[in-house]
Structure 1
Amino acid sequence: MSDKKKFIIGLIFGISGVFIWNVYYDSYEKMYTVGEITGTSTGMKSGTSVQFQFMHNGKRIEGSSWKGSYAAKVGNRFIVEFGKDNQTVSSILLYYPVPDSLKIDVPRKGWGEVPDEIKKYRLKRKEDFGFREFFLID
């Protein structure tokens, strides 16, 4: 098989995988809470990801998300989006930092939406080459 065919097949599988993951992820009703970055890792071809943890009903849940070009360090807090019925389906929203100066009570089960006092710290979304800001509305 030629390199061009391998590239096209890889591209088709990659796009299909992203589409299937998004359909799966979007199938869950979302809840929000505050999570903390616990580490970072860099893959050979996958870029940098961040490991994070958050609490839900007294249980610690860990996850990992792509870092992109956001400035996220160990110990920083951000909003985490997770499935209401399956908390392991989660993503840390690096465009919603939670400053240490902000004292906020986090419900044990999380919020149904991002609280207004955190929304004012929202950063411009950098993923998808910045196009997400133009085509999708939060």
Structure 2
Amino acid sequence: AMDIWRKMVRAQGGDPDAPLPKAREVHHVLSKESGTISSMHALKVGVAAWRLGAGRSRQGEKVQSGAGVEIHKKPGEKIQAGEPLFTLHTDEPERFERALDSISDAVAISKDGSIATHLPLVVDRIS
């Protein structure tokens, strides 16, 4: 997969070895409790990334190349209180508050190790 990605970048005139941009500001979101990650709400994480500057709400808006959400744990993994769940990246620290509004309840932690039941990966086929 990496070889194909490198070919695509070169075909578009890019340098696959160029360093990726980094955001100037980071904020760590720590777990408030210990347990097992039972579920993660992808839309809430995506909205947080958008609010950090990783996406546009209308045509012509600038996207921050280094903005986004780094996810440190996934469903099924154990976590301790105080461990990082997410790291938020942006060039504009005033964006953190709205991103935190979205991501603050994006993860459910169970004490008994249970994992939430999810919908199947493919719900239906359209032909």
Q: TM-score, normalised by structure 1?
A: 0.25
Q: TM-score, normalised by structure 2?
A: 0.27
Q: More strand per residue: 1 or 2? A: 1
Larger Rg: 2
